[in-house]
């Protein structure tokens, strides 16, 4: 929305007040002088408090993606210490299609666009990582072991041992073709489809089937009628084909608890992987950088280092709210046919996401309120796993990503 990091002076008008980056403040007919640094900090703090420019982001492979209202940027660290950046304007779908501003619908649209952008950012970081590996391999070929010259017995001429040196030149990089770009787009679409299918299988299908089997085993649901001579396939089909619990409220509650258990176990298990641990460190760097921006501080490693790594508006908190809303909404579903329960649950997921978005959006208007703190408490707790303390190099990458995204925000004259 407003760019404070370009060298040219700019003006910002807010409610009849004109802020000039050159250091002058005009309020109607009155004028007052400020130092440049104080002026910029005041503007930044004002906008942060008013939430006129909300920023967010996502950790990727050896980097961070930052998003501002109208743009995004990705910064990734290579093994030689350099930072690779990319940035692009990205208007919200609701700006293009006004009907997506309707409550509930905007939540689903925001979630889908965020998912697509997240996959795109991950694919970019993966390409940077792969290119970095190739460059390292090329350097390894060039740095061959040097053989020490040895004189043949009876030879005194040192030139005798000299021979043509073998050299490996770096491969010439070709510009990306249209076919390559199309392949990358297809890969991104494939990744989104796989991610959706995996999440549906793990967080909808598996908990529902397991809950049904558990209720039948404990006698809390009507057992299916199976012939004594029935095979394993007929037995399996009978247990998963129909759902007849004594209490649908208890059934959906256990289904939701199992879903949350799967999610927590998956996150906790992944945290022990070295590569995922570094991603969680970049996640912490992203949060610390966002906190620095929201507090109106200069975007520097020193200021970001002292910030908290758990942020109440993190996507982790949103996911926990989604699971709680799903428990309530799915409680009204009471089809005896298993396939109908699965289909309706999948169809209702955009509605669940939309309602969850509206709850977070409403509660965020009063972040100091008890309702917002209660809703985000499970997510804050889970962030003790999904975020880790970053080092200064990782903070620098997150700050670089945010700066690049802010540069693409339009200025208001």
Amino acid 87: pLDDT: 95
Alpha carbons 23 and 9: distance in angstroms, whole number? 9
- Whether residue 161 is contained in a domain is answered as no
Condensed to tens digits (0 to 9), the pLDDT of residues 4-24 reads 333 333 333 333 333 333 333
- pLDDT category at 148 given cuts 50, 70, 90 is low
Residues 69, 90: Cα–Cα separation, whole Å: 8
DSSP string, 150-211: -PPTT---GGGG--PPP--PPPPPPPPPHHHHHHHHHHHHHHHHHHHHHHHIIIIIHHHHHH
Q: What integer is the mean pLDDT of 38-48?
A: 40
Tell me, what DSSP letter sits at residue 307? S
pLDDT over 70 at 50, yes or no: no
H/E stretch holding 113 reads: helix 105-142
331 versus 20: the higher-pLDDT residue is 331
Same domain (yes/no): 10, 122: no
The arithmetic mean of pLDDT across residues 151-175, rounded, is 55
pLDDT at 178 over 50: yes
- For 173-201, what is the mean pLDDT? 74
How high is the pLDDT of residue 236? 78
Region 48-56: mean pLDDT is 53
Does 5 share its domain with 125?
no
User: Is the confidence at residue 306, as pLDDT, over 70?
Assistant: yes
Structural domain containing residue 189: 97-133+180-395
400 assigned to some structural domain: no
What is the enclosing helix (H) or strand (E) of 309?
none
Q: Is residue 120, in this structure, part of any structural domain at all?
A: yes
Question: Are 384 and 243 part of one and the same domain?
Answer: yes
Structure tokens at 320: 């926990």
Into how many domains does the chain fold?
A: 2
Above pLDDT 90, what percent of the chain? 33
Report H helices in 201-273.
206-218, 232-241, 248-270
Least confident of 23-27, 31-35, 50-54, 318-322: 23-27
Q: What is the pLDDT, as a whole number, of residue 233?
A: 79
> What is the sign of the dihedral through the CA atoms of 378, 380, 386 and 388?
negative
Is 409 a domain residue? no
Average pLDDT, the chain: 78
Picking from 203, 70, 190, 201, the residue whose alpha carbon sits closest to that of residue 120 is 190
Interacting residues of 247 by C-beta distance below 8 A, sequence separation 6+: 220
Residue 49 located in a structural domain: yes
Residues 40 and 126 both lie in one domain: no
Reported as a pLDDT band with limits 50, 70 and 90, residue 383 is: very high
Residues 377 and 326: beta-carbon distance below 8 Å: no
230 plus 331 within the same structural domain: yes
Assigned domain for 328 exists: yes
pLDDT of residue 51: 36
Of 159-163, 233-237, 273-277, which one has max mean pLDDT?
Answer: 273-277
Look at the pTM and tell me if it is higher than 0.85: no
Whether residue 37 lies inside any domain: the answer is yes
């Amino acid at each position: 929305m407003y760019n404070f990091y370009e060298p040219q002076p700019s003006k910002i008008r807010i409610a009849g007040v004109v802020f000039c980056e050159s250091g002058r403040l005009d309020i109607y007919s009155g004028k007052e002088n400020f130092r440049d640094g104080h002026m910029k900090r005041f503007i930044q703090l004002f906008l942060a408090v008013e939430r006129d420019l909300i920023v967010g982001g996502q950790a990727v492979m050896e980097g961070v993606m930052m998003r501002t209202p109208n743009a995004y940027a990705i910064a990734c660290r290579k093994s030689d210490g350099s930072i690779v950046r990319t940035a692009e304007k990205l208007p919200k779908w609701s700006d293009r299609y006004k009907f997506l501003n309707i409550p509930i619908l905007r939540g689903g649209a925001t979630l889908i666009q965020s998912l697509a952008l997240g996959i795109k950012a991950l694919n970019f970081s993966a390409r940077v990582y792969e290119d970095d590996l190739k460059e390292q391999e090329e350097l390894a070929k060039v740095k061959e072991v040097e053989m020490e010259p040895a004189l043949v017995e009876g030879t005194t001429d040192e030139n005798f041992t000299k021979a043509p040196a073998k050299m490996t030149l770096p491969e010439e990089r070709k510009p990306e073709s249209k076919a390559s770009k199309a392949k990358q787009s297809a890969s991104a679409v494939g990744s989104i489809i796989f991610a959706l299918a995996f999440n549906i299988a793990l967080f909808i299908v598996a908990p529902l089937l397991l809950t049904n089997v558990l209720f039948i085993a404990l006698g809390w649901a009507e057992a299916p009628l199976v012939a004594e001579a029935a095979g394993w396939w007929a037995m399996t089909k009978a247990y998963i084909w129909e759902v007849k619990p004594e209490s649908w409220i208890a059934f959906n509650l256990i289904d939701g608890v199992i879903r949350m258990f799967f999610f927590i176990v998956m996150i906790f298990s992944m945290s022990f992987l070295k590569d995922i641990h570094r991603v969680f460190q970049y996640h912490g760097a992203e949060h610390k950088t966002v906190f620095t921006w929201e507090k109106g501080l200069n975007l520097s490693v020193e200021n970001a280092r002292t910030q908290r790594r758990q942020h109440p508006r993190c996507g982790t908190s949103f996911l926990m709210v989604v699971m709680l809303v799903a428990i309530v909404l799915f409680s009204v579903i009471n089809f005896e046919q298993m396939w109908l329960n699965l289909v309706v649950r999948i169809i209702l997921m955009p509605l669940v996401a939309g309602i969850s978005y509206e709850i977070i959006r409403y509660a965020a208007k009063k972040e100091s309120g008890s309702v917002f703190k209660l809703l985000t408490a499970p997510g804050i707790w889970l962030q003790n796993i999904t975020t880790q303390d970053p080092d200064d190099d990782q903070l620098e990458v997150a700050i670089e990503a945010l700066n690049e995204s802010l540069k693409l925000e339009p200025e208001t004259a």
